Structure 1
Amino acid sequence: MTPEAMFERELRKLYHAELEILDLHGDLAAAASDEVAALFTGHEEETVEQINRIERIVEALGTEPRAEGSPVMEGILAEKNALVSTEAPADLRDLDVLRTGMLNERFEITALDQLLLLGSDLDLASPILAELEANRHEAKGALMQMEAIVERRRTV
């Protein structure tokens, strides 16, 4: 495999993940208390923009957007399906929702780190790297918000 092929493969996986995240966040919000639900519903616009950025990257590379599934993302979706189908008190359900959300954000950050490294090694144009960096920044921000809620609940 070449670095170019790896970059394209990982970008397709990230694109698939972002498309799935739109539904994931809605399901997580529906399963959560108001405070946690607001976090996920507020992230929808960012997710749409992250998808748009990936599409701009693909366009800049001269290809068509294609999604490719990832076993990691499929696992996160399976976790979500398991938690939304169980009955649990709100505080416990929030913990499941936050864990699933944090797993997702960490997956995104890791994928973006790999794409940024590959993109840098491939000397991709600065606008492409800036789009990836913007997505990483937003994923990191969402993760930090979730971690802050968990930390607040730990110290109560």
Structure 2
Amino acid sequence: MSVKTMEELFVHELSDIYSAEKQMSKALPRLAKNSESEKLAAAFETHLEETLGQIERIDQVVQILGIKLKRMKCVAMEGLVEESKETIEEVEAGPVRDAALIGGAQKAEHYEIAAYGTICALARQLGYNDALPLLEATLKEEKATDEKLTMIAEGGGQKARRAA
């Protein structure tokens, strides 16, 4: 990664999160399918719809700014997606797997929150005012998804204790 300017850093970070969102769009259906809780499965399905919208927003940012994304793979998200596959293989279906899937999904959300926070800060510094609302909308959605997962986890924890 040879980044020398704030503009290059912005493009690099936007390219990275674009890859992350693409990977999430492929992982979320698997998470929904392997969730025992209907509420959790629905949350993953809802977030898939949001993720597809977030990818569209990045495309809009690219168009607005007249930039070209780098072809790259977000290795951080790749690792988180791989962890979710291992969880599905290694943890028996039920409340414990759901808790593990929520934890893994929240790791991914926290990564995305950090990435979008950085990208928004860079956009502000660079005066990308036309693109900023699109990026801030995605940041807000990522935070809301994290909160929703926390609420599901706290409700599911009671179910797991009753089952034990």
Which of 66, 74, 81 lines up with 2:78 in the alignment?
74
Distance in 2 between residues matched to 1:110 and 1:100, nearest whole Å: 16
Distance in 1 between residues matched to 2:49 and 2:79, nearest whole Å: 24
Amino acid at match of 1:44: L
What is the TM-score when the length of structure 1 is the normalising length?
A: 0.92
Q: What's 1:114 paired with? A: 118
Unaligned runs of 5+ in 2: 160-164
Residues matched between the structures, number: 155
> How far did residue 145 of structure 1 move?
0.3
Amino acid at match of 1:99: G
When Rg is computed on C-alpha atoms for both structures, the one with the higher figure is 2
Asked if 1:8 corresponds to 2:11, the answer is: yes
Amino acid at match of 1:20: Q
CA RMSD across the alignment: 1.5
Distance in 1 between residues matched to 2:6 and 2:157, nearest whole Å: 43
Distance in 2 between residues matched to 1:87 and 1:150, nearest whole Å: 16
Q: 1:67 to 1:103 in 2, by over 3 A?
A: farther
Distance in 2 between residues matched to 1:3 and 1:71, nearest whole Å: 22
What is the TM-score when the length of structure 2 is the normalising length?
A: 0.88
Question: Runs of at least 4 residues of structure 1 off by over 4 A?
Answer: none
Percent identity, aligned pairs only?
28
> How far did residue 68 of structure 1 move?
2.1
> How far did residue 64 of structure 1 move?
3.6
Asked if 1:21 corresponds to 2:24, the answer is: yes
Unaligned runs of 5+ in 1: none
> How far did residue 89 of structure 1 move?
3.9
Amino acid at match of 2:22: L
Q: 1:144 to 1:12 in 2, by over 3 A?
A: same
Q: 1:67 to 1:91 in 2, by over 3 A?
A: farther
